Structure 1
Amino acid sequence: MPKAAIFDVDGTLVDSVDLHASAWQEALVRFGHHVTFERARGQIGKGGDQLIPVFLSEAEQADHGEAMEAWRSDLFKSKYLPMVRPFSAVPELLRRLQDARVTIAVASSAKKAELDIYLEIAGVKDLVDVATSSEDAEQSKPAPDIFQVALKKLGIEGDEAVAIGDTPYDAQAAGKAGIPTIGMLCGGFTEADLRQGGCIAVYPGPGALLACFDASPLGLGTATSREA
């Protein structure tokens, strides 16, 4: 059993991936980049520092990258944040971890203010022992910075933790920090995407992981096949 479970938040604890994709797609179009919703959605899980270079050249980033990200941030807060909802069984899953004496951390590419709101929406703010956000890291996922900060705060090594996330970028970032990752399908990526990113096990969502807890990497520490 691991000493700590490190959760992603968007698409893992709360249902927000499509909302973020819509906000990014609207922002890109407003600033002259005709990007489809599907292309924008495929990059959700990265922070803006990693997402913007996918769609903007260096010259475009210098010209309006910051303005576009600020516009997107305001749009998300005003239009989409009120629409974010929790996934089912999230508090129950975290309480099961508490019962097993596993320390609970979150590692999110969101800003701290947004992260606090998400944890309130998910009903788990009082269940989280350690939180890291984009402001704690130089680079966002798929860079390992956020997970490395979480490990430092926890005072453990990567192989003593398990990460839980919904994107291949979570698995890539955690893997670079030496942390095995459980994948969640509830964020919209396929099992193949998650496996290719490095996930050692894949579940439909928090409820399925809770139902299979004892046989999962959270209960056993190892897994090589899909458990649900």
Structure 2
Amino acid sequence: MPIKAILFDIDGTLIDSNDLHVLAWEEAFAGIGARFDRQTIHDQIGKGTDMLVPSLLPDLDEDGVTRLGEAHGAIFKDRYLDRAKPFAQAPDLLAHAHGLGQSVVLASSASREELDHYLDLLDVRDLVAETTSGDDVARTKPAPDIFAAALDKLPQMGADEVIVVGDTPYDVEAAERCGIAAVALRSGGFTDDALMEAGATAIYDDVAALLADYAASPLGDVAG
């Protein structure tokens, strides 16, 4: 089947922000006396608060998880959000897909506020057909909810007509649970082994490399 829509993750995929989220989480954890090395935190990036915090603090109650997520969000907004920049050619990749008639969807575990900021930062509002954020669903990645919500907004398309582009194993796992293939990028700092074990159909260095190979990539099946 031809690919009619592409669901793009944002953090680590279109925006160089994963390491900044690590720093914000490190500060948030320190605020309650919890300390983890940065690699341990990085290995959880790509999940929303509801999945990330219990992975590292399994005994923390629901209210504690919520408060920690709010602390992370405030720290990230105040200290790091303005430092997050698009990867080279990220808008060009979205424009290319749009120009081929493929629907461009942003599907992220980030908050709605962060997603709106990134839409403006990328200057792609006119290219994006739909968006879903962590605020739209009960569970974030690697649960399938975010991509399932995106599919619900594309009622004329089946899972085999859609593909995900992400940078973490959690993007790939969430896509797989929806029956959607996923292309992974190394730009988020995860190993090829981790991405392949999660089920990635192909791996590229970053959005620029994917754009350069677009026609031969899994995204390039436009005519069927």
- Could you give the per-residue CA deviations for residues 77-96 of structure 1, whole angstroms, max 9, x where no partner exists? 00010100000111111111
Q: Which deviates more from structure 2 when the two are superposed, residues 127-136 or residues 169-178?
A: 127-136
Q: Is the contact made by 1:10 and 1:17 (CA closer than 8 Å) also made in structure 2?
A: yes
Query: How big is the shift at 1:104?
Result: 0.6
In the alignment, the residues of structure 1 paired with residue 4 and residue 130 of structure 2 have an alpha-carbon distance, to the nearest angstrom, of 13
1:118 aligned onto 2:114: no
In the alignment, the residues of structure 2 paired with residue 129 and residue 170 of structure 1 have an alpha-carbon distance, to the nearest angstrom, of 20
Query: How big is the shift at 1:66?
Result: 2.3
Aligned to 1:147: 147
Counterparts of 1:139-178 in structure 2 under 5 Å? 139-155=139-155, 156-178=157-179
Paired amino acid for 1:32:
G
TM-score, with length taken from structure 1: 0.93
TM-score, with length taken from structure 2: 0.94
Instruction: Percent identity, please.
Output: 42
Please list every run of 5 or more consecutive structure 1 residues that lacks an aligned counterpart in the other structure: 222-228
Query: How big is the shift at 1:63?
Result: 6.1
Q: Is the contact made by 1:87 and 1:122 (CA closer than 8 Å) also made in structure 2?
A: no
Paired amino acid for 1:195:
M
Query: How big is the shift at 1:33?
Result: 1.1
In the alignment, the residues of structure 1 paired with residue 18 and residue 123 of structure 2 have an alpha-carbon distance, to the nearest angstrom, of 18
Paired amino acid for 1:179:
I
Query: How big is the shift at 1:8?
Result: 0.3
- Could you give the per-residue CA deviations for residues 140-177 of structure 1, whole angstroms, max 9, x where no partner exists? 00000000010010112211101000000000000000
Task: Count how many residue pairs are aligned between Structure 1 and Structure 2.
Answer: 220
Paired amino acid for 2:97:
L
In the alignment, the residues of structure 2 paired with residue 95 and residue 117 of structure 1 have an alpha-carbon distance, to the nearest angstrom, of 18
The secondary structure found in structure 2 opposite 1:125 is coil
Query: How big is the shift at 1:112?
Result: 0.9
Q: Is the contact made by 1:116 and 1:125 (CA closer than 8 Å) also made in structure 2?
A: no
Q: Which deviates more from structure 2 when the two are superposed, residues 187-196 or residues 142-151?
A: 187-196
1:206 aligned onto 2:202: no
Paired amino acid for 2:142:
P
Counterparts of 1:85-96 in structure 2 under 5 Å? 85-96=85-96
Q: Is the contact made by 1:47 and 1:110 (CA closer than 8 Å) also made in structure 2?
A: yes
Aligned to 2:7: 6
Paired amino acid for 2:83:
M
- State the 4+ residue runs in structure 1 displaced beyond 6 angstroms: none
In the alignment, the residues of structure 2 paired with residue 214 and residue 57 of structure 1 have an alpha-carbon distance, to the nearest angstrom, of 44
Aligned to 2:74: 74
Please list every run of 5 or more consecutive structure 2 residues that lacks an aligned counterpart in the other structure: none
Q: Is the contact made by 2:109 and 2:133 (CA closer than 8 Å) also made in structure 1?
A: yes
- Could you give the per-residue CA deviations for residues 27-82 of structure 1, whole angstroms, max 9, x where no partner exists? 11221112111111110000000011012233x33463222221111111000101
1:51 aligned onto 2:61: no
The structure with higher relative contact order (CA 8 Å, sep 6+) is: 2
Aligned to 2:138: 138
Aligned to 1:36: 37
The secondary structure found in structure 2 opposite 1:110 is coil
Paired amino acid for 1:139:
R
